[in-house]
Amino acid sequence: MTTLAPDGILLGFARALRAAGLPVTADRESTYLLAVATVGMSDRAATYWAGRATLCSGPEDIERYDQVFTGWFGGEERGLTSVPPERTRPQVWLDSDEGAAGRPTGDPDDEVLKVAASAVEVLRHRDVTTLTAAEKQLLAATIDTLRPRAPLRRGTRRLPSRRGEVDPHRTLRAQLKHLGEPTDLAWRRRYTRPRRVVMLIDVSGSMSPYADVLLRVAHRYLRSGAPAEVFTVGTRLTRVTRALRQRDPDRALHDAGQAVPDWSGGTRLGETLGAFITRWGRRGVARGAVVVVCSDGWERGDASTLGEQMRHLAQLAHRVVWLNPHRGKAGYQPIQQGIVAALPYVDHFVAGHSLGAYLELLEVLARA
């Protein structure tokens, strides 16, 4: 199961400060995480002073810092003394199945983490288009801490191993070296390697409320080190893999957005999917890969063209996943012409409207 790292709570707070007008840079975020790891996140006062020392530029920032800190972590910031706390060993517990064991009880500061973890839990089921600015910051910080797992494929080569199947060639060579005398058997096995994932993200007008979040998920997947390619589709096909490989997610999303000429435009999925298959798919990008199409299925072109291109894509790819933001909403029925034409060639039809849906997508990819 995909888990949330504690840094997500702290990064969300830092980005909430940035939204409030404080000049919080990526370097200050890194320094803040290091400072909290040193003094201990379980100490609320230590967390307060670590942030005040690393995220505030001057006295004029303190008032806004106190307001955001109170809103984010709860409680009364004025109750924090003006004396910096003593150093403690870093200890962090989150409300998760893996972190519950061994956590001390009765610690008042532990309530801070419970509140933050509860906020993340609420986001799991909220449509991303209904989130407030602070909630969007927390969502972004949460996505930036996910740890995707790449799907695996069996390699064609068999390599020496301590178990597996008998390697007759190595066994025979070893016997020849000993003049035909029996020797220990040599073994070999097929090893696995990561399978490529290709994401095609619809950036048309109907998908623009979700496109930013989907690109952030794609950025996190690329930064995990898994082999992947990312394209945007609308009226044109644009490769944004290079832009999304940057370490800083905000800069990566900005550069990717600058590279896309048809953002919030129309939708010609059949034509752009055909362009992808011709220019990239048949050249090897889609062969044996897991292809994820992120779209609501609204097609302005001929739906039969989309169905034909989906048939070609299914022949090239190992698995085809279709992510639809409306899939997880009550009363949804796949009646759009594009969806009706594409579904016969889709292996997994998943939702894409909430944090929980994105976590489910990552699990589907890991098992594909």
Average pLDDT, the chain: 83
As annotated, the residues of the chain forming the CATH 3.40.50.410 domain(s) are 197-367
Q: How far apart are CA 204 and CA 298, in angstroms?
A: 9
Listing DSSP states for 170-231 in one string gives: HHHHHHHHTTT---PPPEEEEEEEEPPEEEEEE-STTTHHHHHHHHHHHHHHHHTT--EEEE
CA distance 307 to 345: 8
Q: Residue 153 and residue 208: Cα distance in Å, rounded?
A: 33
pLDDT reading at 196 higher than 50: yes
Please give the Cα distance from 338 to 298 (Å, whole number). Answer: 6
350-353-354 Cα angle (round to 5): 105
Q: How confident is the model at residue 108 (pLDDT cuts 50, 70, 90)?
A: very low
User: Residue 317 pairs with which residues in a beta bridge?
Assistant: none
In sequence order, what are the residues at sequence separation of 6 or more whose Cβ sits closer than 8 angstroms to the Cβ of residue 64?
A: 17, 20, 21, 22
239-268 average pLDDT score: 93
User: Quick one: which of 198, 196, 140, 147 has its CA closest to 323?
Assistant: 198
**CA 287 from chain center: how many Å?**
23
Which one is predicted more confidently, 90 or 204?
A: 204
Q: Which tokens is 181 given?
A: 């005398």
Q: What is the pLDDT of residues 293-305, one digit of tens each?
A: 999 998 888 999 9
Residue 194 or 79, more confident: 194
pLDDT tens by residue, 304-322: 999 999 999 999 999 999 9
Question: Strand pairing of 187-194 and 165-166?
Answer: antiparallel
Rounded Cα gap, residues 100 and 113, in angstroms: 12
- Minimum mean pLDDT range among 61-65, 72-76, 158-162, 351-355: 72-76
Taking each continuous run of H as one helix and of E as one strand, the counts in the chain are 14, 9
Measured CA to CA in angstroms, residue 131 lies from 123, 307, 326 at distances of 8, 34, 16
Query: CA 326, CA 293: separation in Å to the nearest integer?
Result: 14
Class level of CATH domain 197-367: alpha beta
What confidence score (pLDDT) does residue 6 get? 66
Q: What is the pLDDT of residue 228?
A: 97
Percentage of the chain lying above the pLDDT 70 cut: 86
